[in-house]
Structure 1
Amino acid sequence: MIKNRQEILFLYDVTDANPNGDPLDENKPRIDEETGINIVTDVRLKRTIRDYLYDYKGFDGSNGKDIFVREIESEKGGIKDGKARAKDFNENVDEILQKAIDIRLFGGVIPLDKASITFTGPVQFNMGRSLNKVNLKHIKGTGAFASGEGKAQKTFREEYIVPYSIIAFHGIINENAAKRTGLTDEDVDLLDDAMWNGTKNLITRSKMGHMPRLMLRVVYKPGENFFIGDLQNRISLNFDVEEEKIRSIKDFSIKLDELIDELANYGDKIEKVVFVADKNLRLSYKGREINLKDIKDIRFEEKTF
């Protein structure tokens, strides 16, 4: 099992797409109307991670690896509920924890016949919020089919997208909760992979246009029981254009001054900082562009997939 408290900062951007629609509001992207900030739920990010592990890493129920929370057709029709999924594992909770990486990561409620067992997930994310103000764009178009049998006029469709949004997620990996679910270092490596490459592989029509840009995972020394917190609020954008006119990562740089200073302040508690950075993303510190590997006061360790 993991022995280190860890903290995650994950940034990705979205171009001409809908990062997370609200089903109660015409599936519009979620916007904080007071600030113009784009919001993405932690559930959306967890779905990305689950889908990637299922589609690309073999967690499909074979070879002892599975995703517990996924859609499976029921023999009775419709989709299996939680109780039916638990029966797939003969209601053996130890077997569920051994096979289902999403329960080891995110926890969950396991509904059994006689009682339900709740596991608090070692990995928890805040709501993702964009670092830039976002304007909604309403698009109308025609559908592929006629509006009715024998009619020539096609149906109309309409949708809402954001022209550009760069979204920051903050997460914690709690080594204490990991004792109950059995989260391992290998699971955390798979989490890194799934966040980065899962986001890149969101290639459905509504999600095409997602790109991972920066991931930091702060690994604290064993026994510290400490984390800095609010990493997403310790970075900001330096705009090259008006904020509302941002359309790509070429229009800004990420200012890391407060983040790097905080990491340096607590350097005695930090074992290392694992990172992945898009080569096109500009990072700045003290007014100059930097590569994280050039920061001497912190052990930055670059990861590749």
Structure 2
Amino acid sequence: MAVATGEILFVKCVKDGIPNRDPLNDSDARRIFGEEDGRISLSDVSIKRDVRDYVMAKYPDGGPEKRYFVWCREERAPDGKLYDRKKLADLILERAGRDKEVNKEKALLDSAFDMRVFGAVFSVKEQNFHRTGPVQFGWAHSLHPVETKYVQGTVVMPSDDEAGQGSIWTTYILPFAVFAMPGVINATIAMENNMTDDDVELLLEGLWKGTLHRQARGRGLQQPLLLVHVEYNDPFFRIGYLEDYIALEPEKERWLGSTPPTQLSEVALDVQKLARVLGPESPFANKIKRVRWWKNPELTLKGELPGTENKVW
């Protein structure tokens, strides 16, 4: 079955960390809206890394039919040197048993999940191709203002130049934040890239479980909260900006006050507008093929979403 044009809305939260730091701002949270707005953001690159790392962990050998290798990854030679993109591609084809094929582009698309789904720019000597990804994510933005905290501590182990003294570390953290990220799936490009419905299912699973799988101290403790997948009958249609139809309670003033929420039980996600735009009374109802969603049982929803609630992975 051909992949349907669709949209994704993914909501997640983080405690005691910063999921995506800005190296140009002393590794504080990324801010693209300005100080008065107060929201912080996560790049689409960060979200894709979560998915890629999960797919690599689930299918280290390429999985069924050797179709789930990941090209955009870090792998090193025995001497510790990083492999370049050509070597990474060669290793995929070798491990998939397709290194003798003449059409390297097709062989790589059939073997590398992230090339099919997210696209690739491959330019190495005589091998050149550019594939746009049928799946594109927007940036994830917090649904409320965020004030990060600058903290420091000490490490017992001394560094070489500190004469036996422990090291001092400093970092920015945020106590608690909720983010919403939009995504789109283009049916025409999916067909060109040989992306399948199985790829879509793994992508959705990777968004949810990849958020749980990928860990680093500075990223904080993250939890997926809500994932909505909308498919359309018309391959050239989408509602767009589904994240604009949800809101987090309490409102902005509480987040800027002296006692902002610090845990999931203190917030609720209002999905009433989203329910109306996706429901049977929506002006877009005849365009919608299917609505599916997955919900963290600890999340409080205000409103009832249409479509089918699926069991989380």
- Among 282, 292, 308, the alignment partner of 1:300 is 308
Letter in 2 for 1:188: V
- Among 82, 85, 91, the alignment partner of 1:82 is 85
How far has the Cα of 1:161 moved from its partner?
Answer: 1.1
How far has the Cα of 1:77 moved from its partner?
Answer: 5.2
How far has the Cα of 1:236 moved from its partner?
Answer: 0.6
Give the corresponding residue for 2:5: 5
Paired residues for 1:164-183 under 5 Å: 164-183=176-195
- Among 261, 264, 287, the alignment partner of 2:276 is 261
Say whether the 8 Å CA contact 1:131–1:168 is kept in structure 2: yes
Give the corresponding residue for 2:121: 109
Say whether the 8 Å CA contact 2:16–2:174 is kept in structure 1: yes
Q: Would you say 1:99 and 2:100 are equivalent positions?
A: no
Letter in 1 for 2:312: T
Give the corresponding residue for 1:155: 167
SS in 2 for 1:24: helix
If each structure's strand is expressed as a fraction of its own residues, which one has the higher value?
Answer: 1
For residues 109 and 224 of structure 1, the distance between their equivalents in structure 2, rounded to whole angstroms, comes to 25
For residues 95 and 76 of structure 1, the distance between their equivalents in structure 2, rounded to whole angstroms, comes to 28
Paired residues for 1:243-258 under 5 Å: 243-244=255-256, 245-258=260-273
- Among 194, 215, 218, the alignment partner of 2:230 is 218
Q: Would you say 1:230 and 2:233 are equivalent positions?
A: no
How far has the Cα of 1:149 moved from its partner?
Answer: 5.9
Give the corresponding residue for 1:118: 130
Give the corresponding residue for 1:49: 51
How far has the Cα of 1:47 moved from its partner?
Answer: 0.3
Say whether the 8 Å CA contact 1:60–1:67 is kept in structure 2: no
How far has the Cα of 1:174 moved from its partner?
Answer: 0.6
Give structure 2 stretches of 5+ with no counterpart.
Answer: 94-98
Paired residues for 1:11-30 under 5 Å: 11-30=11-30
SS in 1 for 2:299: coil
Which one is further off, 159-168 or 261-270? 261-270
Summarize the Cα distance change of 1:159–1:267 in structure 2 as closer, same or farther, 3 Å threshold.
same
Letter in 1 for 2:272: D
Letter in 2 for 1:83: K
Q: Would you say 1:204 and 2:216 are equivalent positions?
A: yes
Say whether the 8 Å CA contact 1:86–1:110 is kept in structure 2: no
Q: Would you say 1:194 and 2:206 are equivalent positions?
A: yes
SS in 1 for 2:30: strand
For residues 60 and 195 of structure 2, the distance between their equivalents in structure 1, rounded to whole angstroms, comes to 16
Say whether the 8 Å CA contact 2:5–2:186 is kept in structure 1: yes
TM-score w.r.t. length of structure 2: 0.87
Identity of matched residues, %: 31
Deviations 1:267-298 (A, max 9, x none): 2111221111011111113xxxx4x3xxxxx4
Give the corresponding residue for 1:58: 59
Letter in 2 for 1:58: Y
Letter in 1 for 2:211: T
How many pairs are equivalent? 293
Say whether the 8 Å CA contact 1:202–1:210 is kept in structure 2: no
How far has the Cα of 1:203 moved from its partner?
Answer: 2.9
Say whether the 8 Å CA contact 1:86–1:112 is kept in structure 2: no
Q: Would you say 1:184 and 2:202 are equivalent positions?
A: no
Summarize the Cα distance change of 1:51–1:60 in structure 2 as closer, same or farther, 3 Å threshold.
farther
Summarize the Cα distance change of 1:116–1:175 in structure 2 as closer, same or farther, 3 Å threshold.
same
- Among 23, 39, 42, the alignment partner of 1:40 is 42
> CA RMSD of the aligned region, Å?
2.1
Deviations 1:236-294 (A, max 9, x none): 11218812302122222111122111113112111221111011111113xxxx4x3xx
For residues 162 and 273 of structure 2, the distance between their equivalents in structure 1, rounded to whole angstroms, comes to 64
